[in-house]
Structure 1
Amino acid sequence: MYTEVNLCNTDNLLIVLKFLRAQLPQSIFPWQLLTYVYQNVLTRDDIYTQVFVDNLTEIKCVIILYSAFGLVPHWNLIENYIRNCTIVCDKEYTKDILVEMLSKCIPWKQRVMFCAVEQNYITPVIEEFVAEKKIGSYKIWRYIQFELDKNVFLEKSKILPTTVPEGIEIRPLQPEDALFMIEEGGYTPDDLYSVTQIQFCIKNLCSMGAYRHGKLLCWRLLQYDGSLDMVYTVPEARRLGLSSLLSVRLAAEIFKIQERVFGHTALNNRNSLGLAAKMGFHETGICDWIVFEPKYTCAKGDPQQLDVLKSSI
């Protein structure tokens, strides 16, 4: 059995958020995402959200389907695009309830990206399900999830470097920076970033950029899912400490609008791990991003189907 939650019913949404809060820190990604929906920072139609639970009166498993912001133009076309999925399940129910919900709630005939799923007991269930059903293939990327305690950050910020290099201006990003960020950062359609998405984050959330003579040199922003993301420094401005300066200032701004500051970084990204440690972040677990490729696809007719992701960038 499963139920699709009516996100227009705030009482039901609060029930789901209560369950997710009880599962923190493992559930921080979907918890913050739905918190934005509850707060109307995001609307259901911004990311085409669907939330499924096994039983609304006593939740044991939550599956959230959504799309990357700015990549899907209409509800009728979500089958033509990759669907993101994040899952939180009580560990003891992964062999029955989770398996049943995977069968009934996941659109296995289209590309699916499972985001920030618990590697120890959710990833193996997905792997086994795909293998047994012989419905496609998958790849796994493993990340460290880390979180910043506000009191620790306040103490750390007293000793972190604050001097801005001469000729550099640090300020929030501007919407017109988005196209440059996509092009200069070398992001590809598979990264699922769009100009629309970046502009939304700049306008509605927190961001920081370092500029010299008006040119953007370094940036970092808060993503629509609530995570710290998209940090980049152009080659000629590296080793100036700009990434560290932006990260500290951005974290301070994020704490003004949300309870928790968190992010993810690849296991082998030593630079990000070092910066996170200096700021006071602590590891809260290892999680996986799993990209599922279906054996058979099912997509609705769309005149823009060719190169559909690129058309949004």
Structure 2
Amino acid sequence: MCIEVNIFNTDNLLTVLKFLRDQLPQSLLPCQLLTYVYSKIITREDIYPQIFVNHPTEIKCVIILYSMPGLVPNWNLTQNYIRNVAIVCDKEYTKNVLVEMLIKCIPWNQKLMFCAIEQRNITPIIEQFIEEKKISNYEIWTYIQFQLDKNVFMEKLKILSTTVPPGIEIRPLKSEDAYIIMEVGGYKSYDMYTIDQIQFSIKKLCTMGAYLDGKLIGWRLLLYDGSFDMVYTLPEARRLGLASLLSVLLTTEMLKMQERVFGYTALNNQKSVGLAAKMGFYETGLYDWIVFEPNDISVKEDQRHPQILKSSI
């Protein structure tokens, strides 16, 4: 069975959230994404979400399809653009319920990004499905998931430096800073970032920037899915402790708007791992991002848009 849920119906959304929070509390990204929808931080037109469950009340598996903010101009064109996929499934049901839902709910005729997929239980099922069907090429990126222990952070806050270096101003980012972040930070289309996505985070979520004589020299952002991400300091402003300072100040603000603070870092990113531990984050497991590109891409005709698969990756 595969049922599409109207998540803008409060009762339906609360049922899905209860399953995620109670049964699979380590599935942080999908839970926070839907919490933003519930609190109306994210609207239908921001990410065009679709949610599928195996049963209306006895939920064992949830699949969420969504887009990046600003990437899709309207609902009818979602198939022309990459769709993100979040999957949460009780591990006892991955070999039957999940496979059935992969067949019925996933748009395998377009490019997909499976986000924060549980490495041990769900990734092997997706891999096996793709290889048996011979429907695409795919690539897997593995990241460490971290979650903040709020009590530990509050204790560490007593000794963590919050002193701003002389001449530097720390404040929330402005919308126009998104262009500087994309250019100076060296982010490219394959890094999964877009101007619209960064501006969404600046306008609706928590961000922190460091400025010297009005020039942006460092930043830290919270992404639209609720994860702690995007930290960068210009080379000439390094060794001032700005990355740590911005992270601490942003975390303090995040705790005012969401219960859980979490993020992801590459396995070999020792600096991020060290900073996370310093602040009171602890490792909750390894999660995969799977980039899927089908052999045959289906694109809907529209006079206003080129007939190509547009992607931020």
Q: Which residue of 2 aligns with 1:144?
A: 144
Letter paired with 1:119: Q
CA apart distance, 1:24: 4.0
Distance in 2 (CA, whole Å) between partners of 1:139 and 1:26 is: 24
CA apart distance, 1:309: 4.7
Structure 1 residue matching 2:255: 3-state secondary structure = helix
Q: Which residue of 2 aligns with 1:109?
A: 109
* Residues 236-260 of structure 1: per-residue CA shift (max 9 Å, x gap): 1112110000000000000001101
Distance in 2 (CA, whole Å) between partners of 1:59 and 1:157 is: 39
Letter paired with 1:251: T
* Residues 27-82 of structure 1: per-residue CA shift (max 9 Å, x gap): 11100000000111001221010000000110000000000111111111111111
Q: Tell me: CA distance 1:80–1:113, structure 2 relative to 1, closer, same or farther (3 Å).
A: same
Q: Which residue of 1 aligns with 2:206?
A: 206
Matches within 5 A, 1:66-77: 66-77=66-77
Q: Tell me: CA distance 1:221–1:263, structure 2 relative to 1, closer, same or farther (3 Å).
A: same
Q: Tell me: CA distance 1:286–1:23, structure 2 relative to 1, closer, same or farther (3 Å).
A: farther
Q: Which residue of 2 aligns with 1:44?
A: 44
Asked if 1:299 is matched to 2:299, the reply is yes
Distance in 2 (CA, whole Å) between partners of 1:179 and 1:25 is: 36
* Residues 131-156 of structure 1: per-residue CA shift (max 9 Å, x gap): 00000011000000001011111001
Matches within 5 A, 1:11-160: 11-160=11-160
Q: Tell me: CA distance 1:306–1:236, structure 2 relative to 1, closer, same or farther (3 Å).
A: farther
Q: Supply the RMSD in Å over aligned alpha carbons.
A: 1.5
Letter paired with 2:163: T
Distance in 2 (CA, whole Å) between partners of 1:203 and 1:294 is: 34
Matches within 5 A, 1:213-224: 213-224=213-224
TM-score, normalization by structure 1:
0.96
Distance in 1 (CA, whole Å) between partners of 2:25 and 2:181 is: 31
Identity of aligned residues (%): 68
Letter paired with 2:229: D
CA apart distance, 1:26: 2.4
- Name segments (4+ residues, structure 1) moved above 4 Å: 306-310
Distance in 2 (CA, whole Å) between partners of 1:83 and 1:191 is: 15
* Residues 212-257 of structure 1: per-residue CA shift (max 9 Å, x gap): 0000011011111111111111111112110000000000000001
Structure 1 residue matching 2:69: 3-state secondary structure = coil
Aligned length: 312
Distance in 1 (CA, whole Å) between partners of 2:92 and 2:309 is: 40
Query: Higher mean Cα deviation, 252-261 or 159-168?
Result: 159-168
Q: Which residue of 2 aligns with 1:195?
A: 195
Gaps of 5+ in 2: none
TM-score, normalization by structure 2:
0.96
